[in-house]
């Protein structure tokens, strides 16, 4: 299912804004670890409770990126500027994993690459993209069962929109103080009944 051309630019700007901030967070983690010159000190930092919490947070930020990538595939959003940002994120993530290899016990706690991937299921709806039913950040409707730690957590609902908890949390803390609310087309067959209900 592809997004109508009139919405594509809006979606692209929304995704680019979020992905650029994801890149900043992962790049910052690289800079912090790179500034520690002694491997023993780096290991000590990473094994501390604050270090473990910090790396866990960075992993969740990367997980949001993988959801966004799956949302882009689901709705055929494929543009060069987004692919370029995704490439930068992957490069930063790979560099971070190289730093973490100095502390194997931390590296072993990271989710496997397959656990971070989101499966893209075929969309069978006969309407244009319905933003009311998708996460307002990553554009995925639900989390995959294998995805942790939110697989059992319901979507959060705010102002008539839905968000995965970590997607909404990342947006509010690292992108903007207002949650995003992309607008569907007027003829979206999923939203027309909802709009009638709300009016």
Per-residue pLDDT tens digits for 50-83: 988 999 999 999 999 999 999 888 878 888 889 9
Check residue 124 and report its DSSP letter. Answer: -
Contact 188, 31 (CB under 8 A): no
pTM, whole model, 2 decimals? 0.82
Tokens linked to 124: 């069978």
| 3/12: higher pLDDT | 12
Q: Which of 76-85, 103-112, 116-125 is modeled with the greatest confidence?
A: 76-85
Q: How confident is the model at residue 122 (pLDDT cuts 50, 70, 90)?
A: low
**pLDDT greater than 50 at residue 195:** no
- Taking Cα atoms as reference points, which of 121, 124, 120 lies closest to residue 189? 124
**Range with lowest mean pLDDT among 106-115, 145-154, 171-180:** 145-154
What is the reported pLDDT for 139? Answer: 86
Q: How confident is the model at residue 154 (pLDDT cuts 50, 70, 90)?
A: confident
What is the reported pLDDT for 99? Answer: 82
Tokens 């995805």 -> residue: 147
**pLDDT greater than 50 at residue 124:** no
Q: How far apart are CA 99 and CA 93, in angstroms?
A: 10
Mean pLDDT of the chain: 79
């Amino acid at each position: 299912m592809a997004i109508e051309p009139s919405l594509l630019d809006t979606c692209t700007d929304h995704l680019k804004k979020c992905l650029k901030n994801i890149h900043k967070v992962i790049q910052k983690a690289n800079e912090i670890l790179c500034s520690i010159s002694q491997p023993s000190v780096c290991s000590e930092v990473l094994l501390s409770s604050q270090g473990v919490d910090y790396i866990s947070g960075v992993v969740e930020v990367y997980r949001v990126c993988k959801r966004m990538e799956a949302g882009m595939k689901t709705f055929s959003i494929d543009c060069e500027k987004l692919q370029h940002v995704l490439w930068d994120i992957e490069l930063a993530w790979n560099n971070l994993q190289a730093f973490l290899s100095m502390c194997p016990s931390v590296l072993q706690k990271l989710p496997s690459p397959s656990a971070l991937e989101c499966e893209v299921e075929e969309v069978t709806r006969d309407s244009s993209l319905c933003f009311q039913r998708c996460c307002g950040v990553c554009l995925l409707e639900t989390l995959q069962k294998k995805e942790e730690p939110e697989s059992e957590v319901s979507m959060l609902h705010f102002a008539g929109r839905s968000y995965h908890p970590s997607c909404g949390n990342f947006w509010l803390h690292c992108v903007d103080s207002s949650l995003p609310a992309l607008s569907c087309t007027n003829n979206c067959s999923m939203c027309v009944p909802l709009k009638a209900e709300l009016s």
